[in-house]
């Protein structure tokens, strides 16, 4: 059913979370020109991000200090007044393609659809090409929502939205340029993410092995989460992750970019494993204890090799 | 990891702060220099530890956590000086702290002199030996254990020398010490403890930072092949082969990260440190891998920019 004449076509509002995204913000906002209400929710950029975002007629910049990801995202959903009933959520290193834009405009104006949220896929770009297979796709994520029907779960990172209603699927995909800010940024970010994932993994492992039946229950996102929780118990998780994405996921078909990407993700998995070990074996204060022991033992008569 | 900040260390029981202000009775006169920046959690213990061997001077780079006050309470003299880099800071301290002894020992706030090392220093200081400086062994306490293998131990550092006879070379990181006279090594067991409280997150981040700097160097050499000749000619011929291997040959080797892991874990015996040895070798392989990736990325960007193309998307 086409949009009726009585209710003129309304684009979704857009929420963009930023911090120091001067490399990305212009191209990101260029691709969001279809919306009359783009909100940049910035958590303390110290580069040119804000200056580059302001001054566009369809863009507002709102500031909020970052505390945790789910609080930041929930603030973006519930504490900002949007002009439009639908909200598209976007990161600065993502580009809405023309096909996706057309689909967003279509589904948000189609009164025959009664979904309150939509999930979609994305194309990861690395070393100048779409790394279609190595990035383990397709991953479905919820990005188009009616904000009042959705709340983000309380988790350390990689938070998923919980939807009160049905979720539809979009064919269009956005392009994801997570390497624009350079690999140093990717390493630093993944160092940070792996801290959070390790805390999560330590919690999951502390509770003991979850039931395998979780793997077949719930929607794809819940099943993915169950698989992840189980995987925290694997020995040699980084290697398994590499084989999963490079061999089983056919990452080798993405050429050199695919190989490097699979190795990098494996390194990230290794960091999670390392930090999970750090938490579970309580490395934190051991050096202090060992130091005191050493001072007592390493006298002229004894100790030390 | 979001950990609460560590609490300032209390002064050890039975320790008298006056000890840090005087030389040992009947011992050699040793001045200890402790360079600091925000070490409130360690400083009182470090000063009390250093007082075992002599007078203690804290050279602080304007800490904001009260390190200065805690050091004074523990009896050390405290002098503040703006930090530029490690070698310049320590050289400034050697020239400007109110030292009066015959010997100097340099101790970091997270290091401890063991009783055995203290006895050795006192013995050497008394002996009238002709050596101007001594290398001191150090063991890392990290990942829940002392690290004894993987090329990380023994670790010899020139830290004990006759006052006025040693200084650091002018270099940003990994600075070495020059000594005016002959040097010797103290016994391996007379060692310092290195109490490493950094989180694994700090450790990875440090590797990211070093990989960033190292890859810049590789790109610079790759873009200016002539520069290599000029650089290597500064060094004596005996060192050139080694530099050539490290800076020209190894960067091009395939499977560098894997080679590094196997070398550290098997050849250097990292496996004997148990899980910690495995993790240290893995982290080193990651470091090598990051350098390679960053090198490729930066080279590619430099080439695109030279052609006037956009560096992103």
Say yes or no: B217 contacts chain A, CB-CB below 8 A: no
Q: What percent of chain B has pLDDT over 70?
A: 96
pLDDT value, residue A235: 83
In this prediction, residue B221 has a pLDDT band, given cuts at 50, 70 and 90, of: confident
pLDDT value, residue B77: 97
Domain residue ranges of chain A, discontinuous segments joined by +: 13-176, 183-301
B70 pLDDT higher than 60: yes
Q: Which residue has the tokens 């290599």?
A: B228
Contact A198, A272 (CB under 8 A): yes
Give the one of B114, B119, B146 whose C-beta lies nearest to A290's C-beta. Answer: B146
Q: What is the mean pLDDT of chain A?
A: 91
pTM for the model: 0.80
In this prediction, residue B240 has a pLDDT band, given cuts at 50, 70 and 90, of: confident
d(CA B73, CA A152): 50
What are the tokens at B9? 């260390």
Cβ within 8 Å, pair A284-B196: no
Chain A residues whose beta carbon lies within 8 Å of the beta carbon of residue B50: none
Task: Pick the residue from chain A with its C-alpha nearest to B278.
Answer: A274
DSSP one-letter code for B310: -
Cβ within 8 Å, pair A275-B283: no
H or E segment to which residue A14 belongs: strand A13-18
Top-confidence residue, B231 or A176: A176
Say yes or no: B147 contacts chain A, CB-CB below 8 A: no
CA-based nearest residue to A261, from A151, A170, A136, A82: A136
Q: Residue A186 CB: number of other CB atoms within 10 A?
A: 20
Q: Which residue has the tokens 């200056």?
A: A51
pLDDT value, residue A305: 58
Chain B residues whose beta carbon lies within 8 Å of the beta carbon of residue A71: none
Q: What is the mean pLDDT of residues A56-63?
A: 97
Tell me the shortest Cα–Cα distance from A51 to chain B, in angstroms. 20
Using left for φ > 0, alpha for ψ between -120 and 50, and beta otherwise, residue A20 falls in left
User: pLDDT digit string (tens) for A13-51?
Assistant: 999 999 999 989 999 999 999 999 999 999 999 999 999
Task: Pick the residue from chain B with its C-alpha nearest to A126.
Answer: B313
User: pLDDT digit string (tens) for B153-199?
Assistant: 999 999 999 999 999 877 766 677 888 899 999 999 999 999 999 99
User: pLDDT digit string (tens) for B284-298?
Assistant: 999 999 999 999 999
User: What is the complex's ipTM, to 2 decimals?
Assistant: 0.85
Say yes or no: B144 contacts chain A, CB-CB below 8 A: yes
Cβ within 8 Å, pair B204-A304: no
Contact B29, B121 (CB under 8 A): no
d(CA A120, CA A161): 13
B251 pLDDT higher than 80: no
pLDDT value, residue A8: 67
Q: What is the mean pLDDT of residues B240-257?
A: 81
The lowest-confidence range among A40-44, A53-57, A232-236, B208-212 is A232-236
User: pLDDT digit string (tens) for A179-208?
Assistant: 888 999 999 999 999 999 999 999 999 888
pLDDT value, residue B11: 86
pLDDT value, residue B201: 97
In this prediction, residue A5 has a pLDDT band, given cuts at 50, 70 and 90, of: very low
H or E segment to which residue A9 belongs: none
pLDDT value, residue A221: 78
Task: Pick the residue from chain B with its C-alpha nearest to A270.
Answer: B282
pLDDT value, residue B232: 75
Task: Pick the residue from chain B with its C-alpha nearest to A200.
Answer: B1
B310 pLDDT higher than 60: yes
B79 pLDDT higher than 90: yes
pLDDT value, residue B224: 84
Q: Which residue has the tokens 């504490």?
A: A79
CATH of the domain spanning A13-176: 3.90.550.10
Say yes or no: B219 contacts chain A, CB-CB below 8 A: no
Contact B156, B135 (CB under 8 A): yes
A4 pLDDT higher than 50: no
Cβ within 8 Å, pair A283-B200: yes
Residues 6+ away with beta carbon under 8 Å from B168: B86, B87, B88, B90, B91, B175, B176, B177, B178
Cβ within 8 Å, pair B114-A298: yes
A3 pLDDT higher than 50: no
Residue A265, CB-side half-sphere exposure with 13 Å CA sphere = 19
Q: What is the mean pLDDT of chain B?
A: 91
Task: Pick the residue from chain A with its C-alpha nearest to B202.
Answer: A191
The lowest-confidence range among A113-117, A228-232, B265-269 is A228-232
pLDDT value, residue A216: 83
In this prediction, residue A1 has a pLDDT band, given cuts at 50, 70 and 90, of: very low
Using left for φ > 0, alpha for ψ between -120 and 50, and beta otherwise, residue B24 falls in beta
Chain B residues whose beta carbon lies within 8 Å of the beta carbon of residue A299: 114-116
Q: What percent of chain B has pLDDT over 90?
A: 70
């Amino acid at each position: 059913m086409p949009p009726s004449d009585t209710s003129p076509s309304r684009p979704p509002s857009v929420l963009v979370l930023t911090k120091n995204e001067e490399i990305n913000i212009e191209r990101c906002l260029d691709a969001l020109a279809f919306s009359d209400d783009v909100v940049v929710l910035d958590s303390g950029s110290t580069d040119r991000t804000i200056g580059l975002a302001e001054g566009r007629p369809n863009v507002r910049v709102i500031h909020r200090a970052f505390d945790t990801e789910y609080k930041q995202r929930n603030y973006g959903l519930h504490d900002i007044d949007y002009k439009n009933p639908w909200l598209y959520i976007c990161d600065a290193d993502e580009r809405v393609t023309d096909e996706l834009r057309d689909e967003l405009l279509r589904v948000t104006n189609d009164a025959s659809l009664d979904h309150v949220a939509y999930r979609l896929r994305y194309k990861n770009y690395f070393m100048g090409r779409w790394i279609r297979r190595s990035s383990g796709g397709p991953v479905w994520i919820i990005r188009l929502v009616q904000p009042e029907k959705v709340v983000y779960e309380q988790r350390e990172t990689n938070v998923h939205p919980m939807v009160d209603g049905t979720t539809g699927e979009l064919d269009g995909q956005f392009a994801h340029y997570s390497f624009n800010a350079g690999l140093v940024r990717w390493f630093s970010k993944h160092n940070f993410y792996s801290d959070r994932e390790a805390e999560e993994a330590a919690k999951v492992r502390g509770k003991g092995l979850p039931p395998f039946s979780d793997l077949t229950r719930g929607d794809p996102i819940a099943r993915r989460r169950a698989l992840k929780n189980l995987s925290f118990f694997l020995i040699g998780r980084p290697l398994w992750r590499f084989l999963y994405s490079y061999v089983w996921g056919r990452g080798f078909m993405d050429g050199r970019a695919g190989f490097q990407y699979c190795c990098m993700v494996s390194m990230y998995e290794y960091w999670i494993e390392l930090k999970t070990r750090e938490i579970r074996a309580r490395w934190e204060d051991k050096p202090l204890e060992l130091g005191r022991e050493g001072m007592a033992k390493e006298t002229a008569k004894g100790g030390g090799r | 990891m979001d950990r609460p900040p560590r609490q300032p260390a209390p002064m050890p029981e039975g320790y008298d702060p006056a000890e840090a202000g005087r030389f040992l009775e009947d011992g050699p006169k040793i001045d200890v220099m402790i360079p600091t920046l925000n070490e409130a959690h360690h400083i009182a213990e470090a000063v009390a530890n250093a007082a075992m061997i002599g007078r203690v001077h804290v050279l602080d780079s304007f800490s904001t956590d009260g390190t200065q006050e805690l050091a004074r309470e523990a009896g050390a003299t405290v002098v503040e000086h703006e930090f530029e880099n490690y070698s310049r800071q320590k050289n400034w301290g050697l020239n400007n702290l109110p030292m009066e002894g015959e010997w100097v020992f340099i101790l970091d706030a997270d290091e401890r002199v063991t009783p055995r090392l203290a006895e050795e220093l006192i013995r050497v200081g008394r002996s009238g030996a002709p050596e101007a400086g001594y290398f001191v062994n150090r063991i890392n306490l990290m990942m829940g254990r002392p690290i004894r293998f993987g090329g990380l131990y023994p670790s010899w550092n020139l830290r004990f020398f006759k006052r006025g006879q040693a200084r650091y070379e002018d270099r940003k990181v990994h600075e070495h010490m020059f000594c005016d006279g002959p040097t010797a090594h103290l016994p391996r067991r007379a060692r310092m403890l290195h109490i490493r409280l950094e989180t694994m997150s700090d450790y990875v981040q440090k590797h990211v930072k070093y990989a960033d700097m190292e890859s810049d160097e590789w790109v610079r050499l790759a873009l200016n092949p002539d520069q290599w000749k000029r650089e290597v000619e500064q060094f004596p011929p005996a060192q050139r082969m080694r530099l050539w291997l490290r800076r020209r040959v190894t960067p091009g080797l395939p499977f560098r990260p894997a080679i590094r892991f196997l070398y550290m874990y098997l050849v250097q015996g990292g496996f004997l440190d148990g899980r910690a040895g495995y993790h240290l070798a893995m982290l080193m392989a990651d470091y090598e891998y990051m350098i390679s990736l960053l090198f490729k990325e930066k080279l590619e960007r430099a080439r695109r920019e030279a052609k006037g193309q956009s560096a992103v998307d």
